[in-house]
Amino acid sequence: MPERKQLVAGNWKMNGARADGIALAREIAEWAKEPHACELLVCPPATLLVAVGEALGGEALTGGDVRLGGQDCHAAASGAFTGSISAEMLRDAGCSHVIVGHSERRHGCGESDADIRAKALAAWRAGLIAIVCVGETLVEREAQIALAVVAGQLAGSVPDGATADRLIIAYEPVWAIGTGLTPTKRDIAEMHKAIRGHIPAGTRILYGGSVNPKNAAGILALPEVDGALVGGASLKAEDFWAIARACT
């Protein structure tokens, strides 16, 4: 069973031209030379993967200071899927992780739990760690069914045979992503504890949803929180590093 070392992952989403991405990656790599208590991961747009990997020092896959991840993958290894990227392609570009099932894919692209399960299996097939995202909407939170919704997502999205060394769960309440809103610490702790009961022992659970330098320390200090999946704040190296420094 791997150690539950905290992980801070930056999801750059659809942001960054080549020059911007390289500059950001180099700045993060410089910060990462300082002592830190967590693992670091950046997930740039697919167009920047190779360039960012090189800017990070070319060691993202083999255990450098900052790892490289993809934002999504197709379930198939290859084929007539215009515009899609396979997990094998991500691996070839230097990735060690891939995000699957982000709420922007679930709700914006109509991806089902079955779709996400297939993508997680594809990640494992290619030797990647799958970061499976789950989270409730505001309507579901207000209806007091958030725990049941997330439990259902886990049951449908996490494949059989999951192990702590190739699976990470990211809990991202949909209503908190990019809004500046966050659940209370009690709500976060309750959800993370509930998720723990549905996944293999030792699996890391990240919190995501408007994580920033001001609230990171309080969130990362919660005993069931194993790191953060950071959106907007990951686009500024100083903010991303401030969150990393908040790890316990």
Q: What is the pLDDT of residue 29?
A: 94
Domain ranges in the chain? 7-245
Residues 129 and 124: their CA atoms lie apart, in Å, by 7
Pick from 153, 149, 135: which is nearest to 208 by CA?
135
Strands (E), 182-237: 204-208, 227-230
Burial 58-89 (b: 16+ CB within 10 A, else e): eebbeebbbbbbbbbbbbeeeeeeeeebbbbb
Confidence (pLDDT) at 178:
83
CA distances from 76 to 9, 45, 71, 82, 159 (A): 25, 20, 16, 12, 16
- Phi first, then psi: what are they for 104, rounded to 5°? -70, -20
Q: Residue 139: how many CB atoms within 10 A of its CB?
A: 11
Name which of 120, 74, 71, 67 is nearest 94 in CA terms: 67
In the predicted model, what is the mean pLDDT of the chain?
94
Strands 66-70 and 97-100: parallel
Quote the tokens at residue 178.
């990019």
Q: Give the residue numbers marked as catalytic.
A: 102, 172
Please say whether the beta carbons of 226 and 204 come within 8 A.
Answer: yes
pTM > 0.85: yes or no:
yes
What pLDDT, on a 0 to 100 scale, did the predictor assign at position 60?
52
What integer pLDDT is reported at residue 150 of this predicted model?
Answer: 98
CATH architecture designation of domain 7-245: Alpha-Beta Barrel (3.20)
pLDDT number for residue 101 = 97
Kindly report the length of the chain: 248
Here the tokens at position 241 are 């590093």
Other residues' Cβ atoms within 10 Å of the Cβ of residue 113: 18
Regions in the chain scoring below 50 on pLDDT: 1
What is the helix (H) or strand (E) element at residue 37, kind and residue range? none
